[in-house]
């Protein structure tokens, strides 16, 4: 960026640029307190609103977080690297491991909220995706919130035909080793192909509350459909991720 181009950027963005550079260079380390509004007003000779906007930019980017009554600090949370392909490999869940274990390495991922409804009307959208005959056909719904290092990072809602889940641990809070896909495989409905759609948007009020998101933080939406060898869709999973908590990684052979 040239000096002329830099000069045309709003002051709050230029201040945010300097603070971001200081964070990335290590001048401000994870957990360090950033200059407050009064400090920025004095250093850059700007109004309070400008200083506040500069700090908001860093918060919205996930680089900083506000602590009530203490100030704004460099975020110490280490983002999860979601490995989209290895996590769904049969060797993963077929070996009794959760698909989530491919993401967390040696960190602790906890499900602190879980709700299982064994039979609920599918509704038009889910019925269409799962190939059900009617929106009134029942599906098993599994809703979970995942917390990493005491930070909510993901809300996941899965829909499966109730006829496939009935009589299995899929209808229980703990689905057992290998999770839902292992239980489906035991019943002869092993998923062999997965399709994911990824979108981003601002969160709803409910999503922001459940994920404890800061103002202006977007969410990543991942919709996954699991399909058997015969072409039957056996699960539809909608995931809402805190965008500041994740890096999405996909490896492909050329």
Q: What is the pLDDT of residues 187-230, one digit of tens each?
A: 999 999 999 999 999 999 999 999 988 767 889 999 999 999 99
CATH of the domain at 45: 1.10.10.10
Reported confidence tier of residue 78, pLDDT bands at 50, 70, 90: low
Residues 6 or more apart from 210 whose CB is under 8 A from it?
Answer: 113, 145, 152, 155
Kindly provide the b/e burial profile for residues 221-246, where b requires at least 16 CB atoms within 10 angstroms of the residue's own CB.
bbebbbbbeeeebbbbbbbbbbbbbb
Asked if residue 42 and residue 151 are part of one domain, the reply reads no
**Torsions phi, psi of 116, nearest 5?**
-120, 125
CATH of the domain at 205: 3.40.1410.10
Please state the length of the chain.
Answer: 254
Flag whether the pTM goes above 0.85: no
For residue 148, list its beta bridge partners: 109, 151
Asked if residue 133 and residue 42 are part of one domain, the reply reads no
Secondary structure of residue 126 in the 3-state scheme = helix
Reported confidence tier of residue 5, pLDDT bands at 50, 70, 90: low
Asked if residue 135 and residue 9 are part of one domain, the reply reads no
In the predicted model, what is the mean pLDDT of residues 177-191? 92
**Inside any domain, residue 254:** no
pLDDT digits (tens, 9 = 90+) for 143-156: 999 998 788 989 99
Per-residue pLDDT for 105 more than 50?
A: yes
Instruction: Return the higher-pLDDT residue of 31 and 124.
Output: 124
Q: Whole domain around residue 94: which residue ranges? A: 80-249
Asked if residue 173 and residue 94 are part of one domain, the reply reads yes
In the predicted model, what is the mean pLDDT of residues 161-179? 94
């Amino acid at each position: 960026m040239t000096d002329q181009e830099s000069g045309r950027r709003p002051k709050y963005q230029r201040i945010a640029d300097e603070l971001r550079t200081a964070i990335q260079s290590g001048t401000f380390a994870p957990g360090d307190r950033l200059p407050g509004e009064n400090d920025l007003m004095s250093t850059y000779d700007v109004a309070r609103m400008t200083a506040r906007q500069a700090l908001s930019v860093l918060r919205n980017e996930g680089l900083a977080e506000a602590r009530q009554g203490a100030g704004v600090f460099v975020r110490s949370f280490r983002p999860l690297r979601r490995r989209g392909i290895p996590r769904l490999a049969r060797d993963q869940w077929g070996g009794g491991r959760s698909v989530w274990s491919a993401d967390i390495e040696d960190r602790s991922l906890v499900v602190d909220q879980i709700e299982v409804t064994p039979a609920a009307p599918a509704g038009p959208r889910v019925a269409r995706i799962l190939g059900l005959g009617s929106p009134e056909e029942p599906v098993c719904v599994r809703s979970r919130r995942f917390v990493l290092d005491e930070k909510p990072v993901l809300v996941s809602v899965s829909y499966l035909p109730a006829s496939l889940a009935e009589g299995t641990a899929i209808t229980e809070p703990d689905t057992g080793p290998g999770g839902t896909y292992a239980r489906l495989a035991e019943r002869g409905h092993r998923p062999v192909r997965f399709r994911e759609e990824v979108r981003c948007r601002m969160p709803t009020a409910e999503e922001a509350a459940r994920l404890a998101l800061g103002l202006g933080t977007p969410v990543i939406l991942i919709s996954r459909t699991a399909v058997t060898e015969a072409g039957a869709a056996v699960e539809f999973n909608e995931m809402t991720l805190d965008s500041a908590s994740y890096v999405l990684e996909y490896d492909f052979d050329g």
